[in-house]
């Protein structure tokens, strides 16, 4: 009888322990699900923020690319006028020379990937292809920034000293024809043509990378 009661208590206690363990496991699993749900919600918010940010960048890049193309064609036309020594086009050449002081200027000094890494948010983004593309985009932006800085330096350091002596800024008319057709100013046109081609390729690269990221983010958001 004693043995029977002991066995009964034993199995009852064992059953209680099993129920407690099961309860703990269920609670842990619920916590895990809650954590995963919270992390997923945070990741969605991050993806949406990135999408908005680079979407705005895309519009600015498209605008910069259009301006850059316009300036590049103007510089090429000016170089043709100088090569042909077409003095009858001096007024047009003076206007083209004035355009050398204008340039497409896309500048991004807020690295997305690095900011996500520093803030700890990067670990919430499970799509590694998106994070890799964000890192590549940061590098492309950095190269674009450098090219814009080079363009600005050409304007300030090379163009200004040459242009002020050959074109009247008020009337935008040539005042020294020989200087307008001189090799010094032509070299600035050639440098600017070369630089606009580089910038055009960089803009295209950034736009392609942005489109790839946006497509990846769209796929992530559709999972919900």
Q: pLDDT tens for residues 67-108? A: 999 999 999 999 999 999 999 999 999 999 999 999 999 998
Band (5; pLDDT cuts 50, 70, 90):
low
Residue 4 has pLDDT above 60, yes or no: no
Give me the half-sphere count of Cα atoms (radius 13 Å) on the Cβ side of residue 132. 5
DSSP 8-class letter at 107:
-
Closest CA to 206 of 150, 145, 116, 128: 145
Q: pLDDT tens for residues 17-70? A: 777 777 777 767 766 776 567 878 898 999 999 999 999 999 999 999 999 999
46: its two tokens: 């991050």
pLDDT in the model for residue 79: 97
Contact 99, 74 (CB under 8 A): yes
Long-range contacts of 162-171 (CB under 8 A, 24+ apart): 162/188, 163/97, 163/98, 163/100, 163/101, 166/94, 166/97, 167/94, 167/97, 167/98, 169/98
Strand partners, 37: none
Measured between its terminal Cα atoms, the distance across the chain in Å is 61
pTM of the model as a whole = 0.84
């Amino acid at each position: 009888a004693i043995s029977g009661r002991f066995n009964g208590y034993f199995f009852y206690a064992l059953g209680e322990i099993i129920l407690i363990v099961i309860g703990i496991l269920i609670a842990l699993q619920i916590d895990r699900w809650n954590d995963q749900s919270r992390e997923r919600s945070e990741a969605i918010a991050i993806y949406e923020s990135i999408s908005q940010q680079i979407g705005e960048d895309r519009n600015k890049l498209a605008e910069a690319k259009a301006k850059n193309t316009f300036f590049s064609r103007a510089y090429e036309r000016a170089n043709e006028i100088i090569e042909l020594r077409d003095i009858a086009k001096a007024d047009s050449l003076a206007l083209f020379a004035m355009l050398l002081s204008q340039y497409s200027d896309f500048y991004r000094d807020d690295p997305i990937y690095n900011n996500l890494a520093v803030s700890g948010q990067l670990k919430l983004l499970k799509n590694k292809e998106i994070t890799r593309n964000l890192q590549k985009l940061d590098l492309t932006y950095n190269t674009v920034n450098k090219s814009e800085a080079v363009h600005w330096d050409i304007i300030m350091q090379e163009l200004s000293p040459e242009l002020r002596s050959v074109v009247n800024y008020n009337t935008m008319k040539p005042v020294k024809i020989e200087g307008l057709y001189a090799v010094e100013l032509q070299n600035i046109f050639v440098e600017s043509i070369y630089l606009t081609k580089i910038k055009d390729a960089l803009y295209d690269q950034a736009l392609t990378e942005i489109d790839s990221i946006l497509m990846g983010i769209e796929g992530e958001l559709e999972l919900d």
